[in-house]
Amino acid sequence: MMKFADLIDENVEELAAIDTVDAGKLFSLGKAMDIPRAAEHLRYYAGAADKIHGETLKMSKELQGYTLREPVGVVGHIIPWNFPTSIFFMKVAPSLAAGCTMVVKPAEQTPLSALYYGHLAKQAGVPDGVLNVITGFGPTAGAAICSHMDVDEVSFTGSTEVGRLVMQAAAMSNLKPVSLELGGKSPVIIFDDADVDKAADLALLGVLYNKGEVCVAGSRVFVQEGIYDELVKKLSEKAKTWVVGDPFDPNVRQGPQASALNINILDESIELHLEFCVADVSQTQFDKILSYIEHGKREGATLLTGGRSCGEKGYYIEPTVFTNVTDNMLIARDEIFGPVMSLMKFKTVDEAIKRANETRYGLAAGIVTNNLNVANTVSRSIRAGIIWINCYFAFDVDCPYGGYKMSGFGRDLGMEALYKYLHVKSVVTPIYNSPW
Ligand code: ADP
């Protein structure tokens, strides 16, 4: 695993470029974050691999017992297209450390870096058959993993709709456990005492990072009434300076929606076949975002900035902020997975908590305040897997991450992720003169 990490470090530029071509992600961010963090994940879990312990049990009778943690077996990892590298390693690194073997299916839109990682794993000396990368479409290759009788667990990241299918297929086959990291509609709550300039930056980053194609995107922004007008003004100014364009350009902050090239590579033994995707997912994604924007306008929300595609060609969308959004509007309820913010005004802490929780999702939340009591109260009251106070997207390999409610269950990252791939076995023996 350490050698695997070193090989990633040696190929940072190339790997970042692959994800940029494949997913439209910013090359600068891939180079600075996604790829180096992949190596960091491998090193973190490599360090944990020889510290997997059970417990000695006291027991209530004349018995002695201990627990062992054993690898669950063959794990199926199903990866989405928005973070082809990060999510690959969130899943592969802990399961390798746990001693599992695995079949990894990258998204059909973004299979290239996963194939490269398969190659690097081989170079690093990961034994054949341990880390298997299989490209393919969801309803065929993905579904086959979920219903396979020899796959012992599935770790899935993707949409809530597909998460349901994954769980269903697992239940109908061998009852394999699944972990699901699904959609979100995360709130960012900004209180009156916040620094308006910083809060505007945080809120914009919260929804525009990776062009809004982030399951934890802070797409519902609640602003307390005292600073609402000032914040709206700041957001409007800042959103207009957000540069959209070529993801290889270091000045650009937002690339095209979904994958840029849409090439699917099927690696059949030695031959490489190039096959253009039948369905153009970027087009679908692009159309979906624009149609949500139209819906928002029709429902009566006010378009503060953006709202259109940009450029003559390519799937580029302007950073879009809606004000006067009400909680029941579609743009405030559905996961749009694009650069679209819904801004809402609130009066009291209790009101903010209640409205923030009025969603079927529960992945993340942001709180912006300097008031410790407010921060503590709100963070305990929001039903979501990760709460960021005065920050957003503050991920770390040591910090477990996953959903409440229809955002799924099970945790990636941290030691929780390692335990996800380990069974607990209890071993019991009688002690001398025991009646058992
Ligand atoms: P996204 O919203 O990221 O497009 P999807 O849930 O559609 O999310 O896809 C995430 C991953 O799930 C992809 O690798 C995709 O191929 C896979 N997938 C799609 N349909 C199924 C299915 N029926 N069974 C298993 N995996 C699937």
pLDDT in tens, 245-263: 999 999 999 999 875 443 3
CA of 411 to the centre of ligand 1 (A): 18
Under DSSP, the state recorded for 126 is: P
Q: Helices 12-23 and 35-48 meet at what angle, rounded to 10?
A: 120
Domain locations along the chain: 1-182+407-428, 187-260+283-389
Going by alpha carbons, the residue nearest to atom 13 of ligand 1 is 107
The enclosing H or E element of 86 equals: helix 86-98
User: Quick one: which atom of ligand 1 is closest to the CA of 183?
Assistant: 2
Distance from the alpha carbon of residue 163 to the mean position of ligand 1, in angstroms? 8
* pLDDT tens by residue, the chain, 436 residues: 999 999 999 999 999 999 999 899 999 999 999 999 999 999 999 999 999 999 999 998 889 999 999 999 999 999 999 999 999 999 999 999 999 999 999 999 899 999 999 999 999 999 999 999 999 999 999 999 999 999 999 999 999 999 999 999 999 999 999 999 999 999 999 999 999 999 999 999 999 999 999 999 999 999 999 999 999 999 999 999 999 999 999 999 999 987 544 333 333 332 333 333 334 567 888 999 999 999 999 999 999 999 999 888 888 999 999 999 999 999 999 999 999 999 999 999 999 999 999 999 999 999 999 999 999 999 999 999 999 999 999 999 999 999 999 999 999 999 999 999 999 999 999 987 777 7
Task: Look up tokens 């959209």; give the residue.
Answer: 244
Ligand 1 within 6 A of CB of 105: yes
Atom of ligand 1 nearest to the CA of 145: 25
Q: How many A from CA of 247 to the centre of ligand 1? A: 25
Check if 124 has its Cβ closer than 6 Å to any atom of ligand 1.
no
Q: Given ligand 1 and candidates 104, 162, 277, which is best to mutate, with the most ligand atoms within 8 Å of its CB? A: 162
**What are the CA-CA distances from residue 274 to residues 1, 60, 265, 268 (Å)?**
30, 63, 5, 11
Q: Tell me the best of 78, 160, 286, 337 to mutate to test the pocket of ligand 1, counting ligand atoms within 8 Å of each CB and taking the most.
A: 78
Tell me the CA–centroid distance for residue 70 and ligand 1, in Å.
29
| Centroid of ligand 1 to alpha carbon of 276 (angstroms) | 18
CA-proximal residue: ligand 1, atom 17 (nearest): 138
Query: With a 6 A CB cut-off, is 78 part of the ligand 1 pocket?
Result: yes
The percent helix, strand, coil of the chain (3-state, each to 5) is 40, 25, 35
**Whose C-alpha lies nearest to ligand 1, atom 16?**
138
**Does ligand 1 have an atom closer than 6 angstroms to the CB of 159?**
yes
Measured from the Cα of 107, ligand 1's closest atom is 14
Q: Is 181 tagged catalytic?
A: yes
296: left (phi over 0), alpha (psi -120 to 50) or beta: alpha
User: Tokens 């393919």 identify what position?
Assistant: 136
Using alpha carbons only, give the angle 168, 336, 163 rounded to the nearest 5 degrees. 10
CB 58 within 8 A of CB 87: no
* Predicted pLDDT at 179: 98
Cα(376) to ligand 1 centroid in Å equals: 36
pLDDT in tens, 148-191: 999 999 999 999 999 999 999 999 999 999 999 999 999 999 99
Q: Is the CB of 81 under 6 A from ligand 1?
A: yes
104 Cα to the center of ligand 1, angstroms:
13
What is the pLDDT, as a whole number, of residue 435?
78
Residues 271-330: tens digit of each pLDDT: 333 333 334 567 888 999 999 999 999 999 999 999 999 888 888 999 999 999 999 999
The answer as to CATH 3.40.605.10 being correct for domain 1-182+407-428 is yes
Return d(Cα 416, Cα 432) in angstroms, integer: 37
What was the pLDDT predicted at 61?
Answer: 85
Locate 236 and state its tokens.
């409007």
User: Which two tokens mark 295?
Assistant: 């819906």
Binding site membership of 166 for ligand 1 (Cβ less than 6 Å): yes
Task: Check if 250 has its Cβ closer than 6 Å to any atom of ligand 1.
Answer: no
CA angle 41, 46, 50 (to 5 degrees): 145
* Set 108, 181, 213, 335: catalytic member: 181
CA trace torsion 181, 412, 112, 118 (10° rounding):
-140
Q: Please identify, by atom number, the ligand 1 atom nearest to the C-alpha of residue 82.
A: 3
335 lines ligand 1 (CB under 6 A): no
Q: Specify the fold of 187-260+283-389.
A: Aldehyde Dehydrogenase; Chain A, domain 2 (3.40.309)
Q: Considering the entire predicted model, what is its pTM?
A: 0.93
Q: What atom of ligand 1 comes closest to residue 143's alpha carbon? A: 24
CA distances from 165 to 61, 180, 216 (A): 44, 11, 21
Separation of CA 136 and ligand 1 centre (Å): 10
CB 362 less than 6 A from any atom of ligand 1? no
Residue 259: predicted pLDDT = 56
CA distance linking residue 255 with residue 247, whole number of Å = 5
